[in-house]
Amino acid sequence: MSTSQFLVLWLTSFAFILACRVVPVVALRGRPLSPRVVEALGYIPPAAFAALVANDLLSPTMFDAGAWTGLMPLVAAGVVVLVAWRTRSMLWCCVAGVAAYVLLSLV
């Protein structure tokens, strides 16, 4: 990544996220949102996170190197779900996920 490409990526992403952070605070000082808008906004996080998880775990070539190679990240993600259920800790989920990934890749 060149410096100019980094600057384009950083400045556009920063400007967008800054608008997302600031505009609602300015616009909603004393003004409520319609229930349908609130409902739609509420579905953004699960949809975005599910899309990101699926993007990381699923690929047309995932089984090219064997069934276990394709399934292994899914099993490691399952371990993270178990840890999330038991601990509700972001830190332990990341540690357990990486540890499970490393250990399962040795199988």
Contacting positions for other proteins (CB under 8 A): 1-2, 5-6, 8-10, 12-14, 16-18, 20-26, 28-30, 33, 36, 38-60, 73, 76-77, 80-81, 84-85, 88-91, 93-98, 101-102
**b/e map of 63-92 (b: 16 or more CB within 10 Å)?**
eeeeeeebebbeebeebbeebeeeeeeeee
Nearer Cβ to other proteins (13/67): 13
Q: How many whole angstroms separate alpha carbon 25 and alpha carbon 20?
A: 9
Query: Shortest Cβ distance from residue 46 to other proteins (Å)?
Result: 4
**b/e map of 17-34 (b: 16 or more CB within 10 Å)?**
eeeeeeeeeeeeeeeeee
* Cβ proximity of 97 and 75 under 8 Å: no
Nearer Cβ to other proteins (43/66): 43
Query: Shortest Cβ distance from residue 68 to other proteins (Å)?
Result: 15
Query: Shortest Cβ distance from residue 71 to other proteins (Å)?
Result: 14
Query: Shortest Cβ distance from residue 75 to other proteins (Å)?
Result: 12
